[in-house]
Chain A
Amino acid sequence: MASTNCWRCLARPSQRLLLAPVSVAAASAPTSATFSTSAQQLSSKASSDGSKHIRSGKRLVLGRKKRNPDRTKPPQPGERKAFRKRIQLSNDNALKVPGLDVLSSEGVVNPESVGKIFGLPVEVVDQLRACEAFKSSQNWSLFRSPHTLVRKETVDLAKQMTDAIEKKETLRLVLTGNRGSGKSILGLQALATGFLNKWVVINIPEGQELTTASTEYAPTPNSEMFSQPVYTVKLMQAIHQTNHQVLSQHKVQLDHMQLPISVTRNMTLAGLLNATKEPDFAWPVFQAFWKELLLPGRPPILFSLDGLAHIMRISEYRSPAFELIHSHDLSLVRMFTDALGGKTAFPNGAAILGVTAKGNAPMIPSMEKAIAQAAAAQKGEEPPSRDPFFRKYDERVFDTLRGVKVLDVRGVSKTEARALMEYWAASGILRSRIDERSVSEKWTMSGNGVVAEMERVVLHDLRET
């Protein structure tokens, strides 16, 4: 590595220009009379010429170790977290890529759009941002505006969703795949599809926010369940913000006598969501909203959750009896698992999407086995049997994942990889030539086209050249 850097210094004129020009003559002594200049020359030599050795031995310094205190202001409460979670979706330094289509509800199911880069419409970007579909680990900030690659899986997933919803059926699907293969991005594309098709989109961006005991919880009266009021309020706000257009066209049809707030018939569903910001009332109102959504004649639902493994284990919450609460006893999680497990009937059609995560995800043997069984059933193979010596299988997990469809996300194909690299090059990230060979090389290096690895490989090359 070191040698390449050195060669680079020698080879690239632009870098040499960056260096300050070293002028030898400028450092010499000021011009003076020809006589008696020896002292001056000597002194100038001593000062300018660094070659003369000045003895700098170790001296005993006492009391010099005073650390000057940090004068900068400490960040405000929450500032660090905000910085950590900041999502930057545009970068003025990146080049604008002309000639790219904008994603549409027809384009995303069209098999011809496989291997093309599409821009996300502005309103969809706002909606996606509101439901926290963008993640800070995804490099959106490298580009002028958010674009996505439509890959084979995208079209496949979008087609499955739209087909199921047209037939008023429920698609229950789990996205799995290796680390960095683009599961979350695929989830984002599914959400975008939902927004484009005017479905009601409910997204839980991080499963772990619900189960790592970092948000308020409260026992629900007359049940074993626990609601999470503050998170529910946040979720309701997000749903209201993202699905305002759709929800404001539908009015409340049921009588909600038991609700702590007054609900009238001429209230829209959006109004119902926005009716309260009081955490104490949040869960009953959200339940009422859910009931309303499940009535016939309502818009179809897309319910998605990222980080499936986190909600398939025992949570870190404790019940008043000081026992750990199973995640499925948290009512919001239960709502999702019931939907995913097929216990909830959706008369208007729905797509329930569980996205597994590989980074910072616990190992859940039950979930892995259940997904493997579901995948085998989908292919029509013999489902793998459980390990007879493992005691800690969780029946509730198996119940939830029974009969789901599994979409295994793998690396992109070479044509898709080429499209991606061309987009990167057009945005100014990638400065090498893109031909069959370089695409193929990057594709191989990234473990047969794992997207995140491709990005790493390309940026690694960028560092070198």
Chain B
Amino acid sequence: MSSLRYGIRCLRPRPSSTAKQWPSLISSTQSRDSAPRRALATTTPRRQDDSALTSALEAMESSSEGVITTFARPMPVSPAYFSRLPQFNDSFVHVQELARKYARLPTLHPSQVERVAWKTKEQYRITIGEHVKARDYATCIALVKRLNQIHPDLMPEEVKAGLRPFKRDINIYLNQPKPIPVDKFGRSHGVGKRKSSVARAWLVEGTGEVLINGKPMNEAFGRIHDRESALWGLKTTERLDKYNVWALVGGGGTTGQAEALAMAIAKALVVHEPPLKTPLRRAGCIARDPRTVERKKAGHIKARKSPAWVKR
């Protein structure tokens, strides 16, 4: 018995490390009253495996009352250690506690709160490496958002720290688009892409002259439909006779070039007249069309076409 006890003592880590990782050992060594342990047990009463563990521990303790002063094994710092999602459960409980504790602090209207980029479920799963359930995460993030509404002047440090694991590293809402200047000659520059074409367009206030790769419109685009789609942004906003366009287009075919040019011209137009951004977006000139040619796969004739089925 004494040799066993000695072995357990040898196994027992140093207090400095236990303070970090196995605090329950400290509780058993320093003060042997069961209050903290019970408190521990009450924090996670619903965890069955936890409760089983505690009961086992108690049984062991009661059997060897006064003989064994420490646990046979190091105790985990979190009672959620043996659950499937220890980190999430910890932070969830913490957030719940915070929410309960600071429920009465004044809050801002949601529209006035500074926008924060919260981690999505997938991002959170990747960062902590646990497969968090969608429903749990949703309830958790709802609490987090509620906490975030606390007036910034009264926001306790504790809350700030508690919300940190749910924030993305980079707040995308703080990103400012790089301003495109109108240069000293009054030109604005826009770049557009479509399929594999790239277009650069410079817009100057003028009378509606268009030069594409140094050629007039009719030589650059043989199809009238292409000409129309290239100048679609100017046409829908009725700015066709107010600007001169000088553009360079490359790559791809005529359709791609025309629609890349439409995007480039729209972007350059927005520099001159920012309020036009919404109508241009409605006209479909601002968004990059992401569709491109699908790559060919091995074992297929084209991207998806399979070779003809041959018997044997």
Contact = CB atoms under 8 A, between A and B. Distances in A.
Contacts of A445: 217, 224, 227-228, 231
Interface stretch (A198-206, A311-319, A340-348, A449-457): A449-457
A457 B235 CA distance: 14
B159 interface: no
Contacts of B240: 437, 440-441, 444
A180 B241 contact: no
Contacts of B235: 441
Given A443-B208, A456-B224, A448 B238 contact: no
Contacts of B238: 437
A183 to B, nearest CB: 15
B130 interface: no
Nearest to A439: B241
Nearest to A452: B218
Interface string B212-243: 00001111100011011001000100101100
Interface in A381-439: 411, 414, 436-437
Given A437-B238, A437-B241, A444 B218 contact: no
A456 B226 CA distance: 13
Interface in B181-238: 207-210, 216-220, 224-225, 227-228, 231, 235, 238
A7 to B, nearest CB: 17
B264 to A, nearest CB: 16
- Interface size grouping (class) on chain A: 20 to 34
Interface string A163-197: 00000000000000011100000000000000000
Contacts of A437: 238, 240-241
Contacts of A64: none
Nearest to B228: A445
A460 B226 CA distance: 12
B224 A457 contact: yes
B218 A447 contact: yes
Interface string B233-274: 001001011000000000000000000000000000000000
A450 B208 contact: no
Nearest to B243: A444
Contacts of A446: 217-218
A444 B241 contact: yes
B224 A448 contact: no
A458 to B, nearest CB: 10
B228 A448 contact: no
Interface in A186-235: none
B219 A178 contact: yes
Interface string A349-361: 0000000000000
Contacts of B217: 444-448
A178 B215 CA distance: 11
Contact of B216 (A1, A450, A460): A450
A453 B221 CA distance: 11
Contacts of A180: 218
Contacts of B207: 414, 440
B234 to A, nearest CB: 8
A178 B219 CA distance: 9
A180 B224 CA distance: 15
Contact of A447 (B219, B225, B228): B219
Contacts of B227: 445, 457
A446 B224 CA distance: 9
A4 to B, nearest CB: 11
Contacts of B231: 444-445
Nearest to B230: A445
Given A178-B216, A460-B224, A448 B209 contact: yes
Contacts of A441: 235, 240-241
Nearest to B209: A448
A445 B216 CA distance: 9
Contacts of B218: 178, 180, 446-447, 450, 453
Contacts of B220: 447
Nearest to A414: B207
Nearest to A461: B224
Contacts of B241: 436-437, 440-441, 444
Contacts of A460: 224
A41 B227 CA distance: 58
A459 to B, nearest CB: 9
Contacts of A1: 225
Nearest to B221: A447
A75 to B, nearest CB: 33
A338 B210 CA distance: 41
A334 B253 CA distance: 45
A409 to B, nearest CB: 13
A211 B170 CA distance: 75
Nearest to B211: A448
A447 B224 CA distance: 11
Given A441-B240, A457-B227, 12 more contacts: A1-B225, A414-B207, A441-B235, A443-B208, A444-B210, A444-B240, A446-B217, A447-B210, A447-B218, A448-B210, A450-B218, A453-B218
